[in-house]
């Protein structure tokens, strides 16, 4: 059951909210847990029992880490990290590991394929951060295990994040309290994410599918490959940020404040800036639990480069078990090293900074192409085709005009809403009293119209699974 489905929006969610608000604040955590278990059961009934066992195991570990002697605390922390990463490895990376072994040693070992738990990468990182924070005494273990189960299994974020730290919502878990404006703000945020998904992401998905349908791209024009790559970059952003908006909005309606996960990443001026804006919870997780413990930038030049290499290999692997994801991570590693030690964007003049901004966006776009292909070779062919090297085809064809006529609106909307256009508009309008009053009347009407437009796609069955759900 997708968060963007009609059944969830007009059935499951309203019924749950009515039930939730009827409960006293101290009992609401039980309502969240019950609905979250049901939600996870609907989406992944075969794995629910394993999920609950993992939650119980980690709660017991956290109690030992919190109250045991120093020796036992560290031992059980390591046990927790190994057991959680071991589960992740078993479900997600075992087959890939066998493939590497077979290639290196010329063997033919066949691994049994197991269906992965939904949201496995997200809740694994959530569990590890919690155990580390308990060990470092940044957070205390809740006496009521229901609070811990809520923290891990909370339905808005369980499938695709954001990766929430326990300290960020621990107070609310005691007895979630909803302020007067939380429901309205949360609902608006939820609807914004839904519109991102249904109007922009899912329509651009059709364009990407159309471009990729040519197979080996030997008959594709340079223009069509560029159109497809830009569409994919926008689709990925609006799909994932749309989900994050929906999760943040639902959390707000329930009395929880999840941190932002995206901050207009395509407005970045460098690779460093991009990763401060894209999937913020994941970037901060790797910074706090991998990069800094390794020594961060406090060590020698070569040690710092090694730390970055480790982080970006792990970042690539986190996204998927495949060579493509490793290469994708290594590209960012190389560009960040070049940027940090050679380019130094802050030291460039105005023209130089703009050139580097353009270079950054171009390489990000090319790297998303690699990210989107299961085989590295195919991704490289696509990239070479974009610059007219690999394929000797025409630059533009009549079919490209038809694609732009059919999907151009969604590309334009994607580009427009990749920048904080609403914020800039409201700030400018607010300076004029008359315009501000008119806007206060018109904007809600516009929002409702967009919401109905998005709903029409969902009602017609026009829906694609969330892209990051597979990670």
- Residue range 325-349, pLDDT digits in tens: 999 999 999 999 999 999 999 899 9
pLDDT at 457: 85
Does residue 461 have a pLDDT over 90? no
Q: What tens digit of pLDDT does each residue of 143-163 get?
A: 999 999 999 999 999 888 899
Banded model confidence at residue 462, pLDDT cuts 50, 70, 90: low
Question: H/E/C letters for each residue in 54-72?
Answer: HHHHHHHHHHHHHHCCHHH
Q: Average pLDDT for residues 429-436, to the nearest whole number?
A: 73
Higher pLDDT, 113 or 290: 290
Q: Average pLDDT for residues 351-356, to the nearest whole number?
A: 96
Does residue 321 have a pLDDT over 90? no
| Known active-site residue 67 | no
pLDDT at 111: 67
Higher pLDDT, 277 or 297: 277
Banded model confidence at residue 250, pLDDT cuts 50, 70, 90: very high
Does residue 258 have a pLDDT over 70? yes
pLDDT at 391: 65
Q: Mean of the per-residue pLDDT values for the chain?
A: 90
Q: Average pLDDT for residues 309-318, to the nearest whole number?
A: 96
- The burial of 302, by beta-carbon neighbours within 10 Å (0-12 exposed, 13-18 middle, 19 or more buried), is given as exposed
* Secondary structure class of 258 (helix, strand, coil): coil
Catalytic residue (choose from 67, 71, 279, 319) = 319
pLDDT at 84: 96
Higher pLDDT, 186 or 214: 186
pLDDT at 469: 67
Q: Which two tokens stand for residue 211?
A: 């471009």
DSSP 301-339: HHHHHHHHHHHHHHHHHHH-SSHHHHHHHHHHHHHHHHI
Collect contacts of 179-185 with beta carbons under 8 A, ≥24 apart: 182/252, 182/253, 182/255, 183/253, 185/249, 185/252
From CA 449, how far away is CA 426, in angstroms rounded?
18
pLDDT at 96: 85
Q: Which residues contact 181 (CB under 8 A, 6 or more apart)?
A: none
Return the C-alpha torsion angle 178, 179, 180, 186, nearest 10: -70
Q: Which residues contact 280 (CB under 8 A, 6 or more apart)?
A: 162, 259, 260, 261, 262, 263
Q: Average pLDDT for residues 384-395, to the nearest whole number?
A: 79
pLDDT at 98: 82
Record the pTM: 0.93
Does residue 207 have a pLDDT over 80? yes
Question: Angle 82-466-191 (CA atoms, 0-180°, nearest 5)?
Answer: 120
Which regions of 142-266 does DSSP assign to beta strands (E)? none
Higher pLDDT, 392 or 305: 305
From CA 272, how far away is CA 291, in angstroms rounded?
14
pLDDT at 281: 96
Q: Average pLDDT for residues 247-274, to the nearest whole number?
A: 96
Does residue 417 have a pLDDT over 80? yes
- The burial of 16, by beta-carbon neighbours within 10 Å (0-12 exposed, 13-18 middle, 19 or more buried), is given as buried
Q: How many CA atoms lie within 13 A of 375 on its CB side?
A: 6
pLDDT at 116: 74
Entry field: residues in the chain: 471
Higher pLDDT, 338 or 111: 338
Q: Average pLDDT for residues 36-50, to the nearest whole number?
A: 91
Higher pLDDT, 126 or 118: 126
From CA 184, how far away is CA 333, in angstroms rounded?
41
DSSP state of 262: -
Give the percent of the chain with pLDDT over 90.
Answer: 65
Please tell me which of 242-256, 428-442, 447-461 the model is most confident about, judged by mean pLDDT: 242-256
Q: Average pLDDT for residues 310-320, to the nearest whole number?
A: 94
Which regions of 338-419 does DSSP assign to beta strands (E)? none
Longest CA pairwise span in the chain (Å): 75
pLDDT at 15: 95
Short-list 264, 194, 265, CA closest to 423 = 264
pLDDT at 78: 95
């Amino acid at each position: 059951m997708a968060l963007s489905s009609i059944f969830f929006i007009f059935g499951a969610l309203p019924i749950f909210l009515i039930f939730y608000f009827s409960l006293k604040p101290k009992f609401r955590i039980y309502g969240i847990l019950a609905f979250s278990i049901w939600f996870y059961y609907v989406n992944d009934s075969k794995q629910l029992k394993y999920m609950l066992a993992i939650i119980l195991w980690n709660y017991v570990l956290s109690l030992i880490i919190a109250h045991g002697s120093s020796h036992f605390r560290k031992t059980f922390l390591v046990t927790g990290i190994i057991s959680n990463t071991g589960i992740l490895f078993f479900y997600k990376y075992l087959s890939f590991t066998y493939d590497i072994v077979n290639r290196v040693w010329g063997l033919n070992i066949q691994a049994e394929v197991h269906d992965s738990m939904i949201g496995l990468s997200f809740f694994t990182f959530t569990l590890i951060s919690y155990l580390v924070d308990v060990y470092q005494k940044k957070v205390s273990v809740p006496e009521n295990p229901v609070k811990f189960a809520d923290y891990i299994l909370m339905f808005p974020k369980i499938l695709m994040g954001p990766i929430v730290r326990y300290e960020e919502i621990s107070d609310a878990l005691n007895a979630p309290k909803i302020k007067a404006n939380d429901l309205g703000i949360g609902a608006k945020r939820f609807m914004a994410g839904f519109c991102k998904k249904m109007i922009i992401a899912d329509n651009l998905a059709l364009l990407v599918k159309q471009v990729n349908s040519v197979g080996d791209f030997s008959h594709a024009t340079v223009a069509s490959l560029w159109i497809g790559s830009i569409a994919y970059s926008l689709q990925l952003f609006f799909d994932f940020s749309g989900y994050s908006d929906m999760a943040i909005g639902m959390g707000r309606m329930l009395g929880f404040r999840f941190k932002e996960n995206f901050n207009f990443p395509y407005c970045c001026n460098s690779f460093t800036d991009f990763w401060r804006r894209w999937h913020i919870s994941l970037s901060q997780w790797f910074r706090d639990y991998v990069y800094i413990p390794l020594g961060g930038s406090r060590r020698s030049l070569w040690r710092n480069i090694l730390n970055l290499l480790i982080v970006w290999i792990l970042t690539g692997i986190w996204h998927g078990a495949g060579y493509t994801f490793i290469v994708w991570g290594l590209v960012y590693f190389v560009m960040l090293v070049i940027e940090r030690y050679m380019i130094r964007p802050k030291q460039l003049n105005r023209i130089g900074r703009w050139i580097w901004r353009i270079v950054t966006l171009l390489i990000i776009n090319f790297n998303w192409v690699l990210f989107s292909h299961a085989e590295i070779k195919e991704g490289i062919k696509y990239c070479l085709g974009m610059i007219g090297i690999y394929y000797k085809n025409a630059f533009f064809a009549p079919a490209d005009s038809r694609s732009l006529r059919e999907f151009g609106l969604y590309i334009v909307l994607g580009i427009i809403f990749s920048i904080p256009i609403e914020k800039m508009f409201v700030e400018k309008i607010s300076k004029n009293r008359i315009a501000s009053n008119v806007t206060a009347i018109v904007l809600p009407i516009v929002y409702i119209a967009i919401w109905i437009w998005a709903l029409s796609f969902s009602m017609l069955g026009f829906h694609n699974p969330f892209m990051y759900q597979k990670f």
